[in-house]
Structure 1
């Protein structure tokens, strides 16, 4: 393992179009918002930024369009230290996410995949990049064919693979067979297992398909479970949330870094929890993600996860 971990990410890159409102509109209702922002996002790009700011060397595999959104996303990623050499430019418009954030920090999101829908297979250089990584991060905002191809490549080269199964959908056995750590939130875990309101039982069911599971529980923290061990729960830090958009991606990116650096799962979860707590206190997705020194300071352990 390298002193500075190398994280490969295959996933989406979107432009987030964010409207801030007191209360989200109901069907057929029009409300007046108080603010509008645009910012680079997408679960793949977000996780890449989170991992890079947490101290890893990170490369994003994905696609953007030839439009202004694509150029802005690429520049933003590079500014955060993410290598974009394998971020393809295609003729399809860049993906967008239309987000409504209410005054309690909750959000509702509509994603238009755009260029992300072209990521159906690995391109030149992708497998070599994955083979050189300490971990591969995956999500489901690009086609399953591309996700499966990347997971299989990681398995061939012995690279640890972490999948965030969002948006929630049935996961084919060929994908699950190549996943080391499954990282759903409690709603995704319920959708995958049919078990609601019992994260421990859901985790147990998922362990029949993958070796390790982390279920994020929002303000209640996270649950870690692995085959042959007792599940552990790490509580969340209690903070005043401003915007929860990107909190799960912050958690995923920083968790991957901590695990790749050899930290125990409980320590890695605590460090990732500190990062997510910082992110929800700021507006935006990738723009809210903390840097390494901030995470260490918030965790109360200077040099933690290093």
Structure 2
């Protein structure tokens, strides 16, 4: 990451390619059992989709997002277009949508997703439109969906030296080709081990840096347990000690402050991190805590990961230090969780909870 300053250049453009849809959110007292008939306690229709949510977050934080996606000329499509500017509308088919059941008791959410049809293909994105979208872009974000089109976008971004951030939510078709082109990766908790088959998350992160030599950092988000980040160090210190990554992670965990009302970040020095059976990489390990939300204020976790990624995109554009970036992203994600749906709770740049980061 660049560490020159924390000021955000005007009109910073972020281009995203991926899912934009509609979420139908029903809150229930408890999750239904098979063959149950229950009533919702609240209901909301709101824009959704990983890319749509993350870019909405960046817009509220002050960036200028552009989205490459596909919707149909149907009711859902018109609702999506009402919230987002997209490249074009398909004349036939159905737009993507998701039914989301929010359990008031556990604060968990269950998603039933219906993909759009027909899916977006590279031919749906004229080269002139792609070049226009990427013109002046500071960073490109890919959520792992629409992989064929996303790969075209990624290759063009590489040609133009535009850095790429990949959302590795889970194993997806075509993700391996995309992730090889990434500069930054943000993973869901289970992805690193699923992708590398390593025995621990920390070993898996070492493995990812070794397999993906272009990656500057990789973050594994852990929900209420915060996140782990591994940052590659280009200038290796010959005198740096070799440390077993699992032991280093354990030592950092022991340094956590007992209070997580305010997100904190704990980091190691630049170290040669070793993962047994995998290899060694010169890097720096970070642990970020999540912001504690009182049960009475925790409404819905839908889209918390997208909010975290939107904040990371902002932090990269604003040249935040990693410690500041992780605390900022945790604060934005926590704010989102205080409202129903992926977008209602997303904070604006002027929100008081972000004041200390925007100075």
Q: Is the 8 A contact 1:225 1:232 kept in 2?
A: yes
Match among 135, 148, 156 for residue 151 of structure 2: 148
Could you give the per-residue CA deviations for residues 263-284 of structure 1, whole angstroms, max 9, x where no partner exists? 1222122111110010001111
Q: In the alignment, which residue of structure 1 is the partner of 2:325? A: 268
Q: Is the 8 A contact 1:8 1:59 kept in 2?
A: yes
Query: Structure 2 length as normaliser, TM-score?
Result: 0.76
Match among 107, 116, 121 for residue 114 of structure 1: 116
- Equivalenced residue count is 294
Q: In the alignment, which residue of structure 1 is the partner of 2:137? A: 133
1:37 aligns with 2:44: yes
168 and 30 in structure 1: CA distance in 2 versus 1, 3 angstrom threshold: farther
Q: Is the 8 A contact 1:95 1:116 kept in 2?
A: no
RMSD after superposition: 2.1
- The 5 Å alignment of 1:69-88 reads 69-77=76-84, 84=85, 86-88=87-89
Measure how far apart 1:128 and its partner are: 3.6
**Rg larger in 1 or in 2?**
2
Measure how far apart 1:63 and its partner are: 1.1
Q: Which runs of 5+ in 1 are unaligned?
A: 78-83
2 and 201 in structure 1: CA distance in 2 versus 1, 3 angstrom threshold: same
CA distance in 2, matches of 1:116, 1:222: 36
Measure how far apart 1:181 and its partner are: 0.9
CA distance in 2, matches of 1:170, 1:93: 21
Match among 221, 225, 228 for residue 223 of structure 1: 228
Could you give the per-residue CA deviations for residues 101-136 of structure 1, whole angstroms, max 9, x where no partner exists? 101321111211114722445434113422521011
- The structure where helix makes up a greater share of residues is 1
1:303 aligns with 2:358: yes
Q: Is the 8 A contact 1:62 1:119 kept in 2?
A: no
Q: In the alignment, which residue of structure 1 is the partner of 2:96? A: 95
Measure how far apart 1:190 and its partner are: 3.0
170 and 223 in structure 1: CA distance in 2 versus 1, 3 angstrom threshold: farther
